[in-house]
A and B are shown apart, each in its own frame.
Chain A
Amino acid sequence: MIVYDTQLRSRLLLGTSRYPSPAVLTEAVKASGTEVVTVSLRRESSSERSGQGFFSIIRSLGVRVLPNTAGCHSVKEAVTTAHMAREMFGTAWIKLEVIGDRTTLQPDVFGLVEAAKILCDDGFQVFPYTTEDLVVADKLLDAGCRVLMPWGAPIGSGQGLNNVPGLRAMRARFADVPLIVDAGLGVPSHAARALELGMDGVLINTAVARAGDPVTMARAFADAVKAGHSAFVAQPMLPSDVAIPSTPEIGLAHLV
C-alpha cells in the first residue's frame, strides 16, 4: 500500500490507546507487524510529565507515527492540534478528525472538508476520518487529500462494517485512492471482510487493546488483513441465489 508516496508493507495500522499497560502495547505493536501507529496530543501536567514517558515508548517501537486530532469538535481546534502535532512528531501526516456528534462520534463532514482544505494548503498530508458518503469523499479529494479513511462503524463500537454497499461504492468510485477503514471493527473477520472488498487497509485500536489477550489479537488481525487482501487479489466468486452443484452431474450412475 502506498500512502503519500510512502510504501507500507503492512495494511494494518494500530492505535495506541486503552491497552492494559505500556508493555502490552509494545508487544501488541510488534505482534501486529504494523508500520504505523496513531497517537494524540493531550494536556501535559508539569508534575507528572506522562507524555515524556509515552513518547519514549513510541520512539523505541521504530514505527511511523500518525498523529490524530481526536476529540476536536471544531475546525479551529483540529487545525491548531494538527500544527502542534506536526512540530511535536516531525511529520506532515495527520489523521484529521472533526467530531460532529458526541454519541456516535460521527465526523462533522462539513468541518472536516473545511479543515482538510486549510491543512492540505499548508503542506499537511491529511488522512481524513470520514463516512462512506461519496460526495464528501469527492470534496475531500478536491481539498487535496490523497487518502480516505471511511468508518466501519462508530468508534470503539466493535460492530464491524455497517455499510458494506457504501464501502463497495467508494471502492468502485475511487479506484486509485487508498481507502483505509478507520473505526468500529471488532474482530479479525471484520478486517478480513474490509480487505476482501478491496479496502487498502484498516486501522484498529479498541478491538486489540480491549481483547483479553491483546498481543494474540494483534497477530490475529495481522493474519486476517493478509488473508483478506489475498482474497481480493484472487477475485472472489460471485454469490448466487440458487444452489449450483460442485460435483459434475454428467456421468452420474443410473441406480433406480
Chain B
Amino acid sequence: MKITLNGVEHEITASSLIEALLELGYCTGPIATAVNGEFIPKTQRLGIVLSEGDRIEVVAPMQGG
C-alpha cells in the first residue's frame, strides 16, 4: 500500500506502524511519531493499523531556540 512518510510517498508491505518504521529504516534511535496529524505514543505503534494514503511523521531531536 502507498503511504507518505515525512512528505515522501512509499510503497510498503507493512500493515502496522511499527512494521512500517522498521521497513523504512527506523530500527533504532530516538524518534517520535504521528499518523495523520495525531501523536502515536511509542507503546501504541504496534497496534496502529495503517491505511492506504496515511501520512506518517517521524521526528527526532534537533537544534532549537
Q: Which residues of A contact B (CB under 8 A)?
A: 15-19, 25, 38-47, 49-52, 54-55, 58, 67-68, 70, 76-77, 80-81, 83-85, 87-89, 155-156, 183, 203, 205-206
A42 & B59 in contact (Cβ 8 Å cutoff): yes
B49 within 8 A of partner (CB): no
Pick from B38, B41, B60: contact of A44, CB under 8 Å: B60
| Contact present for A87 and B61 (CB under 8 Å) | no
User: In whole angstroms, what is the CA distance A42 to B38 when docked?
Assistant: 16
The answer on a CB contact under 8 Å between A51 and B33 is no
A43–B63 touching, CB < 8 Å: no
Point out the residue from B7, B41, B61 that lies within 8 Å of A39, measured CB to CB: B61
B46 at the interface (CB under 8 A from A): no
A41 and B62 form a contact (CB under 8 A)? yes
Residues of chain A with a CB closer than 8 A to B34's CB = 80, 84
Main secondary structure of the interface of A (DSSP, over half): mixed
* Contact A17 to B65, CB < 8 A, known contacts A46-B25, A51-B60, A84-B32: yes
A28 to chain B, nearest CB (A): 12
> What 9 pairs across the A-B complex have the smallest Cβ distances?
A51-B60, A40-B64, A46-B25, A15-B65, A205-B65, A84-B32, A44-B60, A83-B39, A42-B62
* Contact partner, B61, options A45, A47, A51, A83, Cβ 8 Å: A51
Q: How far is the CB of B65 from chain A (nearest CB, A)?
A: 3
Number of A-B contacts (CB under 8 A): 110
* Residues of B that sit less than 8 Å from A by CB: 6-7, 24-26, 29-34, 37-39, 41-42, 57-65
- Chain B residues with Cβ below 8 Å from A47 are 25
Of all chain B residues, the one with the shortest Cβ separation from A67 is B64
Contact A52 B65 (CB under 8 A): no
- Tell me which residues across on chain A come within 8 A of B63, comparing CB atoms: 15-19, 25, 39-40, 54
With both beta carbons as reference points, the residue of chain A lying nearest to B25 in the complex is identified as A46
Distance of A155 Cα from B64 Cα, bound (Å): 12
Task: Across the interface, name the chain B residue whose C-beta is closest to A47.
Answer: B25
- Pick from B24, B26, B32, B38: contact of A88, CB under 8 Å: B32
Cβ B39 vs Cβ A52 within 8 A:
no
The answer to whether B58 and A44 touch across the interface, beta carbons within 8 angstroms, is yes
Query: Which A residues are CB-close (under 8 A) to B7?
Result: 43
- Minimum CB–CB distance from A19 to chain B (whole Å) comes to 8
> How far is A223 from B34 in the complex, measured between Cα atoms in Å?
42
| Contact A55/B30 with A46-B24, A87-B41 known, Cβ cut-off 8 Å | yes
Minimum C-beta distance from A92 to chain B (A): 15
Contacts known (A52-B29, A84-B59, A88-B32); A43 close to B64, Cβ less than 8 A: no
- Chain A to chain B contacts (Cβ below 8 Å), 20 pairs: A15-B64, A18-B63, A38-B64, A40-B64, A41-B32, A41-B61, A42-B59, A44-B6, A44-B31, A44-B58, A46-B58, A50-B60, A54-B62, A55-B30, A55-B60, A58-B61, A80-B39, A84-B32, A88-B31, A88-B59
